[in-house]
């Protein structure tokens, strides 16, 4: 059961669902933005974890020291995705979220040197800020409920401690809010 829940909520896959939700109201006019967002936020990072796994590494990367190549790949993919979304004049929230993914990944990688946080929980709680921006309080409550359930599952399977799950939420959500409300508006004109 751990594997099924952990795979469904993999931080490499959840961005596809987040971007689909954010762009769902205007898919006909934003199909290219959605395609770019899914390729650079989900497909490339997922391909990197598969390559990593096929090379004999742990699929869930429980050892924090072995996460570095995945953080680097993710940061590069998210950065390129943000540039492309900016270039095609994608909706602000899509570009802002992609930028937030890049910045969050850099911060998670830095934090990872000292402390293993739940990237599964991080991958739900951070983007909840974008859902809140786009859809309001109901989306915030749904996002935090999902992060709570994922966090419980990660603790129950002994993949993380309560502190590692809480740290993920306490860093990722405020950081994403800061990117969406302060950094992105200054960069996306």
Rounded to two decimals, the pTM is 0.90
Residues counted in the chain: 189
Q: What is the mean pLDDT of residues 58-67?
A: 62
- Dump pLDDT digits (tens) for 142-163: 999 999 999 998 898 888 899 9
Q: What is the mean pLDDT of residues 48-54?
A: 78
- Structural domain boundaries, residue 117: 2-187
Within 8 A by CB and 6+ apart from 22, the residues are: 91, 93, 94, 97, 130, 131, 134
DSSP conformation letters of 114-136: H----HHHHHHHTTHHHHHHHH-
Looking at the structure of the chain, the number of domains it has is 1
């Amino acid at each position: 059961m751990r594997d099924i829940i952990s795979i469904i909520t993999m931080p490499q896959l959840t961005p596809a669902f987040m971007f689909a939700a954010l762009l769902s109201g205007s898919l006909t006019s934003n199909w290219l933005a959605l395609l770019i967002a899914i390729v650079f936020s989900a497909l490339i990072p997922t391909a990197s974890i598969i390559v990593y796994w096929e090379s004999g590494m742990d699929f869930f990367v429980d050892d924090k020291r072995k996460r570095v190549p995945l953080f680097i790949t993710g940061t590069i993919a998210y950065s390129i995705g943000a540039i492309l979304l900016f270039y095609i004049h994608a909706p602000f929230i899509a570009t802002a979220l992609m930028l937030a993914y890049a910045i969050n990944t850099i911060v998670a990688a830095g934090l990872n040197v000292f402390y293993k946080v739940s990237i599964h929980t991080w991958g739900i709680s951070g983007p909840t800020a974008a859902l809140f921006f786009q859809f309001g309080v109901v989306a915030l409550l749904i996002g935090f409920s999902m992060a709570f359930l994922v966090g419980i599952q990660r603790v129950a399977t002994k993949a993380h401690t309560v502190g590692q799950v809480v740290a993920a939420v306490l860093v990722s959500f405020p950081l994403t809010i800061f990117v969406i409300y302060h950094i992105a508006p200054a960069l996306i004109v």
